[in-house]
Amino acid sequence: MSFFEQYRSGNLVLPNALFFHFKEIFPSADDFLVWQFLYLQTTTQIGEVASSQIAQATGKTPTEVNKSITTLTEAGLLDATTIKVNNEIEMVVDASPALAILDKLMSKEKTVSGPVVGQPTNTQLIKQLTDELEQALGILNPMVIEDLNKEIQEEHTDPELIREALREAVFNQKTNWNYVKGVLRNWKLSGITTKLQVEQRRLEHQGKKQAHQVSEDFKTGMDAARQLWGGQ
C-alpha cells in the first residue's frame, strides 16, 4: 500500500522517507513545519487547528503561518479551501498531495536503481564471470574472486570488457588472473572501457598487420625483380 493510500485509510504516521526527501518536496523548513500541523488536523480527531494556534506553537505570527499555507497550496502540497458554516468561515485542508508527491519520488527511485527486468544483477554477473573464468583458468582462489568483485562493484568495469580480457589471455595462452588484470589495466590506460572499443582496436591492428604484410610482399617482389634485372 502506498503512503497516499495509507493516508486515505487513516492509518499513517509520518513516514521516514518524507524526512529524507524533505528538500525535494517542501520549499522550506518553515513550510514543512506548518504542513505537519495541518497533517495532524486531517489525520486525527484534534479538530481544526487555527493559524493562530500554529503561530503560538511555533513562535511565528499568524501572517507567516498563512503565508506558508499559501506557499504549500501553490506548490501543490496542500489543498486548502474555505467554507462557510453557520455564518462562520472555516478552512478545510487536505495534506495528502505531499504524500502523493512522495510516492512518485519513491517510485522513480525504484525505477532508476532497481535492476532492469531481464537483465542480470551484479551478483548474477559475478557468478557468470566466475564460472567462465574457472573454465579457462581453473578453480579460482578467494583472492581472485574478491578481485573480480572489486572490478565490477568498485571499479565499475564492464563485465563484457572482463570477458574480452579473458579471451585475450586464452588466445595468448596466458591463462592466469594476473594476466587478465594486466590486459584490463593496459586497456584502461589507453582509454578502452567497452567491448566495442576492444573490437575496434583489434580491427585496427588487423588492418596494420595486413598493410605490413602487403609491404613485405611488395619488398620481396622488388628484390626478386632486381635480381632478375641484375641477372640480365
The residue with greater pLDDT, 68 or 123, is: 68
- Residue 147 has a pLDDT of 84
- Residue 71 has a pLDDT of 92
C-alpha R_g of the chain: 34
Task: Give residues with Cβ within 8 angstroms of 37, minimum separation 6.
Answer: 49, 53, 54, 57, 58
User: Could you give the 3-state DSSP secondary structure of residue 120?
Assistant: coil
d(CA 194, CA 151): 14
Residue 91 clears pLDDT 60, i.e. is over it: yes
Q: pTM of the entire structure?
A: 0.43
Nearest to 25 by CA among 96, 99, 109, 113: 99
Cβ-based neighbour number of residue 96 at 10 Å: 20
- Residue 110 has a pLDDT of 61
For each of the domains in the chain, give its residue range(s) and CATH number, in order of start. 3-111 (1.10.10.10), 122-193 (1.10.10.630)
d(CA 141, CA 164): 21
Task: Give residues with Cβ within 8 angstroms of 43, minimum separation 6.
Answer: 7, 10, 12, 95
User: In this predicted model, what pLDDT tens digit does every residue of 16-51 receive, in sequence order?
Assistant: 788 878 888 999 989 999 988 888 777 766 677 788
pLDDT, average across residues 113-137: 70
- Residue 103 has a pLDDT of 87
d(CA 164, CA 194): 9
Helix crossing, 159-171 with 142-153: angle to 10°? 130
User: In this predicted model, what pLDDT tens digit does every residue of 149-207 receive, in sequence order?
Assistant: 888 878 888 888 898 898 888 888 888 899 999 999 999 888 888 888 888 888 887 76
d(CA 149, CA 32): 43
Beta bridge partners of 93: 80
At residue 25's C-alpha, the angle toward residues 92 and 117, to 5°, is 120
Residue 222 clears pLDDT 70, i.e. is over it: no
